[in-house]
Amino acid sequence: MQERKTYLLNAANCETQSYNYRMTPDRNIHEATSCIPHSSTAAEVAKALGLDTAHGLTVAEVDEARSRYGANLLKAHPPANPVRILFKQFMSPVVYLLLGAAGFALLIGELTEFIAILAVLLINSGIGFVTELRAVRSMEALRHLSTRSVVVRRAGHIETIPAEQLVPGDIVIIDAGDVTAADMRIISSANLASDESALTGESLPVAKDVQPVAPDTPLADRTCMLFKGCAITRGTGEAIVTSTGMDTELGRISRLVEQSAPERSPLEKQLEVLSRHLIWVTVLVATAVGTAGMLAGQDVSLMVETSVALAVAAIPEGLPIVATLALARGMLRMARHNALIERLSAVETLGSTTVIMTDKTGTLTENRMHVDRIVTSDGELDFDRGSGRFLMAGHKVTAAGNDNLRLLLEGACLCNNASLGTKGQTSSGDPMEVSLLEAAHADGIERLTLLTSFPEVAEHAFDAATRMMATVHKDGRNFKIAVKGAPEAVLDRVKQVSTGNRSVSFDRHQKRHWKDVCEVLAAQGLRLLAVAGKTASKPDVQPYQDLTLFGVVAFQDPPRADVATAIADARQAGINVVMVTGDHAATAKHISQAVGLAPEGFTAIASHELKPYPEMSETEKARTRAAHVFSRVTPEQKLDLITLHQQAGDVVAMTGDGVNDAPALKKADIGIAMGLRGTQVAREAADMVLRDDAFSTIVQAIREGRIIYTNIRRFTTYLLSCNLSEILIVGLAVLAGLPLPLLPLQILFLNLVTDVFPAFALGTIEADRNVLAKPPKPPSEPILNKSQWITIVAGGSVIAATTLSSMVLATFVLGLRGDAITTMCFFTLSLAQLWHVFNIRNWREGLIFNQITRNTYVWLAITICLTILTIAALQPDIAGALRLTPLPGTAWGAIVGLSLIPVVVRELLAFGRRLQ
């Protein structure tokens, strides 16, 4: 192993030095010295750690370091405790109230009602338990990023050890394909590059070298450092471990994930407020009715039973069931549109979203590099990927008819290690090299065909020091050398410029021209490569001297085709879209303008311009909230941006795919992870996962969320109307000195059986076409506003009046007594509540043709409920439990007629309003 590494380093002409310093008692570079690894030379880092890099740590030094710093592991997060989650379902004021009602029922000997109330509690708690039982897996996913083993030099020997045994000061031997096991300072490198996209958001592998950078350099630009959890994509090298476990950048992010408390959804907050209001109403009504009844001389046991009935009537026991079913249905509908929901309440939160903070790469763009244009001495050629043609001023240009284009494409294919996929196989290699082969293929130039004519005899691999790559090919008696690399590096080695069949001198005017070309292209957010070459008489000449420039290739990760339309839809819906990316400002600015996210002339805010949230003035907060694009942001800054908008009252959706996004995904009101390219950490921290990584899917999910929120309002209004009618029926009857018109078990039956099906049907109503043409509801707006409360009070009052009328009719006209009276009241109320579903519509809509009557589920719910009521009336055991008795035909006629009165009253009021 040691010999292999030495050969690779020497082959790349990489100077490898060893640093020998006497060991100091405290080798922790962060504690013992002021040495900053990325801004210090490799020798300074070794000295700060008291380390001999050629020898490595001794056994005693390793043991001492392990006892001081512990294992190289991220902090374990205990899994969610199912028992604790189950008990949490009972920690609710509504549950306490129902438990009290169950206790009263047991005290007065109503065992059936006691069991029924407990069954309600178990059903509701069971649903909550199942939906909330999800272990906290983010920390476990972070730990999975650690490698199982690592190659180190200790006591002068190369050995392989488990990754968790690494300690600060270890010398690690690095090779392509490794996953970095700790944070490290590079001390030698040969063509080394690391994929840090999951940690920093940088979309392409980062070339690494030994040169220190400035102390305040952002994490993404610390080219002399390797970070835990990132994969080595190419090259070899050696590095000193500077941080392990929770002291690494990955550990820092895991701590942020742990500390980032997820925001409760607007629905959860609003339902809690609604529950508190219902409890106060229940306590006040039960107290008032009980006190009044006792003062009027009513029997104490009757008043206790009345209190139980009122408690049961005031609580919409079916609401948690219906809400869960409606949200679950929304989850299924969103899944059909490639949006997988992890948390039920996130479905509704989407509909309340006012700000979307989105990543660039893969969400707004295709996450795939393509050739955008080529510049030769002839001018600029645009590459139309759709047609596979090169266009100059709108006219087609081919390599066969343009020598400059042919020379550039041939050079780009020869100086290339990628391969195009064939017959359904995917392409492999560096993304930019793949895109060069695709562009050449579109014009009929194939790399394999070129290699047949010009066999490769040598390769000079890309080197971070030269920032260039070269290949040498046999060309008859001579040798063709193809070069590509960073434009500034290549231009410094160019002697002449190709103009087709001849070349011109690369004088200062030419150099200024090509530098201007590159600056203009770079300002548009394009990635650039210069392609050059030369002919030599022998293969071992210096490849990077006296080159002929063929041209410059500009690449971009193009915007998705549907993004501009999706952003326009979001804007129309009143949603502010903000790009938060780890990429460079120029690239972010170009893409944001291309998709219509930001206006012309705006300025992207870079990470170094962002103050911590607590240090911002009100003016700075306002300026930051108004910004559209943020570049090179850190995980902490993402948290600050989310907090900034949340404190201003916004509901924030955050997209992300990397480890660095996990804290923000957890902190946001709704975290949205990428399913195709997202890390496991990001997916576990998110509330929603996009299977297609498309921004348009987010907008579609928001549309679905708004539909669901509207429907939640509908069925909540319906259920509370029914509950209010029950409270009024029981309360008014007792205050009037009448017997109980409804029994507690009958109320439970209505709330849990006949009310649930129509309510769920209301949760399936389709939305208006202009659902995204309206602004999002204010986050502070309650789930029920003034118009809903008017419907609840008016509807509940009319239903109560109708039911009490049936009681009067049964007693004084039909001459019914005892359970027959409660039976008539029960069925009148049942049918009145059932028909009340048609009243939960916009007053502008007519009675016959509207969203409710066109919904198949509404008619199915009515059919099911009528069947259940028929069974309850005819089946002896059920009828006995509910204390239902047979009624004469005249009573049934009165029941049906009275139950339709609320619908008639509602339609007359709506008709009068439409006439105004």
Rg, the chain, Cα only: 36
What pLDDT was estimated at residue 305?
67
Which residue numbers are catalytic?
A: 359
Rounded to the nearest integer, the mean pLDDT of the chain is: 84
Q: Report pLDDT for 28.
A: 45
What pLDDT, on a 0 to 100 scale, did the predictor assign at position 594? 87
The Cα angle at residue 708 between residues 128 and 125, in degrees rounded to 5: 10
Q: Which residues of 95-133 are buried (b: 16+ CB within 10 A; e: fewer)?
A: bebbebbbebbbebebebbbebbeebbeebbebbbebbe
- Position of tokens 């002919």? 535
User: With b meaning 16 or more CB within 10 Å and e meaning fewer, what string describes 580-615?
Assistant: bbbbbbbbbbbbbbbbbbbeeeeebbbbeebeebee
Q: Which residue has the higher pLDDT, 26 or 370?
A: 370
More confident residue, 34 or 785: 785
Of 224, 329, 314, which Cα lies nearest the Cα of 278?
Answer: 314
Round to whole Å and give the CA distance between 117 and 317: 10
For residue 605, how far is the Cα from the chain centroid?
23
Q: Kindly report which listed range (76-80, 406-410, 864-868) carries the lowest average pLDDT score.
A: 76-80
pLDDT at 1: 34
Whole-angstrom distance, CA of residue 301 vs CA of residue 578: 63
What confidence category does residue 423 fall into, taking pLDDT thresholds of 50, 70 and 90?
Answer: low
Residue 267's pLDDT is: 64
Burial of 186 per CB tally in 10 Å (0-12, 13-18, 19+): buried
The Cα-based distances of 388 to 7, 302, 414 in angstroms read 43, 85, 20
Task: Tell me the C-alpha to C-alpha distance, in Å, between residue 130 and each of 85, 91, 445, 669, 860.
Answer: 9, 16, 59, 21, 27
Looking at residue 615, its pLDDT comes to: 93
Query: Looking at the DSSP assignment, which residues form a beta bridge with residue 165?
Result: none
Longest pairwise C-alpha distance within the chain: 121
DSSP structural state of residue 612: P
Half-sphere exposure of 673 (CA within 13 A, CB side): 31
Residue 694 DSSP class: -
The whole-angstrom separation of Cα 268 and Cα 264 is: 6
Please answer whether residues 813 and 916 qualify as being in contact, where contact means their C-beta atoms are separated by less than 8 angstroms: no
* Secondary structure class of 321 (helix, strand, coil): helix
- β-strand 629-631 against 605-606: which pairing, if any? parallel
Q: What φ, ψ does residue 820 adopt, rounded to 5°?
A: -65, -35
* pLDDT at 76 (0 to 100): 61
Alpha helices in 543-694 (DSSP H): 563-572, 585-594, 618-626, 635-647, 662-667, 680-685
Going through 377-493 in order, the beta strands assigned E by DSSP cover 379-384, 389-392, 395-397, 456-463, 468-475, 478-485
DSSP 619-659: HHHHHHHH--EEES--HHHHHHHHHHHHHTT--EEEEE-SG
Query: Which residues have CB under 8 Å from 775's CB, separation 6+?
Result: 573, 574
Both structure tokens of 364: 């707004």
Q: List, in sequence order, every beta strand (DSSP E) within 364-463.
A: 370-376, 379-384, 389-392, 395-397, 456-463
Contacts 24+ apart (CB under 8 A), 69-72: 69/28, 69/167, 69/168, 69/244, 69/245, 69/247, 70/245, 71/164, 71/165, 71/245, 72/146, 72/163, 72/164, 72/165, 72/166, 72/167, 72/181, 72/182, 72/244, 72/245
- What is the distance between the alpha carbons of residues 76 and 61, in angstroms, rounded to a whole number? 26
Question: What are the tokens at 863?
Answer: 């059919």
Cα 83–chain centre separation: 28
Band (pLDDT 50/70/90 cuts) for residue 796 is: very high
Report helix, strand or coil for 41.
coil
What value does the mean pLDDT take over residues 612-617? 92
Backbone angles phi, psi at 146, to 5 degrees: -70, 145
Strands, E, within 60-156: which ranges? Answer: 149-154
CB atoms within 10 A of CB 786: 8
- pTM of the entire predicted model: 0.70
SS3 of residue 146 by DSSP: coil
pLDDT in tens, 386-396: 899 999 988 99
| 754 has a pLDDT exceeding 80 | no
Residue 92's pLDDT band (cuts 50, 70, 90): low
pLDDT of residue 198: 73
Confidence of residue 17 (pLDDT cuts 50, 70, 90): very low
Cα three-residue angle 147-148-150, rounded to 5 degrees: 80
Of all residues in the chain, what percent carry a pLDDT higher than 70?
A: 86
CA distance 756 to 753: 6
Beta bridge mates, 463: 468
Using a 10 angstrom Cβ sphere, with 0-12 exposed, 13-18 middle and 19 or more buried, the burial of residue 384 is exposed
Burial (0-12, 13-18, 19+ Cβ within 10 Å), 441:
middle
DSSP symbol at 57: B
**Angle of helix 901-915 versus helix 889-899 axis, rounded to 10:** 30
Smallest CA-to-CA distance from 307 within 738, 722, 731 is with 731
Asked whether the CA dihedral 649, 655, 660, 665 is positive or negative, the reply is: positive
Tell me the pLDDT tens digit for each residue of 710-736. Answer: 888 899 899 889 988 988 898 888 778
Confidence of residue 73 (pLDDT cuts 50, 70, 90): confident
pLDDT for 265: 62
What is the pLDDT confidence band of residue 740, given thresholds at 50, 70 and 90? confident
Of 583, 635, 634, 618, residue with least CA distance to 604: 583
pLDDT band at 275 (very low <50, low <70, confident <90, very high): low
Alpha carbon distance 105, 36 (integer Å):
71
Residues near 168 by beta carbon (within 8 Å), at least 6 away in sequence = 27, 28, 29, 49, 65, 69, 241, 242, 243, 244
Both tokens assigned to 881: 């439990």
Ramachandran assignment for 854, one of left (phi > 0), alpha (psi -120 to 50 degrees), beta (any other): alpha
Over range 296-309, report the average pLDDT.
Answer: 69
User: pLDDT, tens digit, for every residue of 464-475?
Assistant: 778 899 999 999
The answer, yes or no, to whether residue 761 has pLDDT greater than 60, is yes
For residue 104, what are its two tokens? 């009263």
Q: Is the pLDDT of residue 434 over 70?
A: yes
Higher pLDDT, 110 or 729: 729
Query: For residue 880, how many other CB atoms are within 10 A of its CB?
Result: 11
Q: Is the pLDDT of residue 261 over 60?
A: no
Residue 495 confidence (pLDDT): 96
Which pLDDT band holds residue 599 (cuts at 50, 70, 90)?
confident
Q: Once rounded to an integer, what is the mean pLDDT over residues 694-698?
A: 88
Burial readout 274-289 (b: 16 or more C-beta within 10 A, e: otherwise): bbeebbebbbebbeeb
pLDDT digits 0-9 by tens, 156-190? 999 999 999 999 999 999 988 888 999 999 999 88
Cα–Cα distance between 807 and 818 in angstroms, integer? 11
> What pLDDT sits at residue 331?
80
pLDDT in tens, 496-549: 999 877 899 999 999 999 999 999 998 888 889 999 999 999 999 999 999 999
* Lowest pLDDT segment from 192-206, 362-376, 548-562, 638-652: 192-206
Looking at mean pLDDT, say which of 36-50, 106-120, 584-598, 824-838 comes out highest: 824-838
CB 526 within 8 A of CB 504: no
Mean pLDDT lowest among 151-155, 331-335, 454-458 = 331-335
